[in-house]
Structure formats: structure tokens, C-alpha cells
Chains A and B, each alone.
Chain A
Amino acid sequence: NAGVTQTPKFRVLKTGQSMTLLCAQDMNHEYMYWYRQDPGMGLRLIHYSVGEGTTAKGEVPDGYNVSRLKKQNFLLGLESAAPSQTSVYFCASSGSSMGLGGYTFGSGTRLTVV
């Protein structure tokens, strides 16, 4: 019962490099989300999707892009990494809108940009 799987778990990037974070869920959830968590700050929503083929901006979308080509996968891209993007990234999915029923989070990706 995998739930939500994030890859990779750790990554170090140089400034200006690009990368893609993959989130995969096996619960047939419609709603998927990407959050970042920084010390002293709550989780902040980057982008989200309410179904296959849809994406929408969250609270802090600048510098990130996303795609939801398949229902089970939600990809987060960093086109040109900056040190300010050093963070822990969490993907979450939900079977209900507005957080009702709760989110299932992945175990996170720790990204350092040097």
C-alpha cells in the first residue's frame, strides 16, 4: 500500500540547474498538491491540480512549473534553480476537495541549491 511516493528523496543542485520532482499516488485521488516547507514557516502551496490535465497556481508558484498528464502523477519542475528554492518539498493527494477527508503526503524531497 504505497500511497504517495516522491522521487528523489534528496538532491543537491547548482544554481541555474533544472530538475523535476515526481509525485505518484496509487489511491485514484483527483486532487494533488505540491507544498514547500521552510523553517519557521508553515507549509506553503506551490501548485495544485483538481484532476488529470489541470493545474493551478498556489501561494508561491514563481520559479516552478507543474504537469498532470496522468491522474496518478504530478510533476514539479524547477527550470533554473535558485538558493531561495532550498527547501523540503511535499506532495499530497486527496480524494476530496478543500482538504476534506485529509491529505496523504509523500515522505518529502530535501532539495539544496548551492
Chain B
Amino acid sequence: RKEVEQDPGPFNVPEGATVAFNCTYSNSASQSFFWYRQDCRKEPKLLMSVYSSGNEDGRFTAQLNRASQYISLLIRDSKLSDSATYLCVVNPNFGNEKLTFGTGTRLTIIP
């Protein structure tokens, strides 16, 4: 089993819709979790960290489910500018600098 698994998509979603995708991780001791977005042929950029209690940033909501070992990202009222690849990132061990990046979920918002 991969350390971090994501559905590669593509998710093709009409503008204004709500979309959600999950990411599963294999190491139950994983300590910290993040979502990054990566535009085509660009560098990844931090979208948000994922906290145990869940967190929201505008139209974006991230959740952590430790029991089932997954994190989720919900995007409400999707915009054309949300089209990107969303990378799930996990730190599998406390004190470890070696983050594990998922392969990403590709999202396209359709006008």
C-alpha cells in the first residue's frame, strides 16, 4: 500500500458546484497533514494545513479522520481559477523532515 494515495481524477466540475476529494495515508502515526495546489507546469503552493478539529479557509474546508486514516478537501462555489492539481502531503513521523507527497488529484472547473 502506498504511503499516501489519491484519486488522480480528473474531476470535471461545473463552475459554482461543490467538489470534494479524499486522500488516504497508511501510517497511523502520521502527525501533520497538508493540502498543496499545483498549477500546470508550476511549483506547488501551500493551500492549507489540516488540523485535527478540521479547518476552513474561505471556500475551502479540510478535514482529518484519524480513525479511517484519510484527509479530505471540500471546495464550495468552485471558480475557474480553482482548476489545478491538488496534492495531499503527510508527515509520517514526528521529528522527520521527510514529507510524503501524493501524486495529486486533477481538478478542472468547467464554465
Q: Chain A residue with minimal CB distance to B43?
A: A105
B104 touches A98 (CB 8 A): no
B42 touches A98 (CB 8 A): no
CB distance from B46 to the nearest CB of A (A): 3
Q: Chain A residue with minimal CB distance to B99?
A: A99
CB distance from A27 to the nearest CB of B (A): 14
B101 touches A42 (CB 8 A): yes
Residue A98 contacts which of B87, B91, B101 (CB distance < 8 angstroms)? B91
Which of the four size classes fits the interface of chain A? 20 to 34
B45 touches A99 (CB 8 A): no
Residue A90 contacts which of B44, B49, B102, B104 (CB distance < 8 angstroms)? B44
CB distance from A49 to the nearest CB of B (A): 9
Q: Chain B residue with minimal CB distance to A49?
A: B97
B43 touches A100 (CB 8 A): no
Q: What residues make up the interface of A, taking CB atoms closer than 8 Å to B?
A: 31, 33, 35, 40-45, 48, 50, 56, 58-59, 90, 97-100, 102-103, 105-108
A-B residue pairs, 3 tightest by C-beta: A102-B46, A42-B101, A105-B43
Q: A42-B103, A48-B97 are in contact. List 18 more A-B contacts (CB 8 A).
A: A42-B87, A42-B101, A45-B97, A59-B98, A90-B43, A90-B44, A97-B97, A98-B32, A98-B99, A99-B34, A99-B97, A100-B32, A100-B49, A102-B49, A105-B43, A105-B44, A106-B43, A108-B42
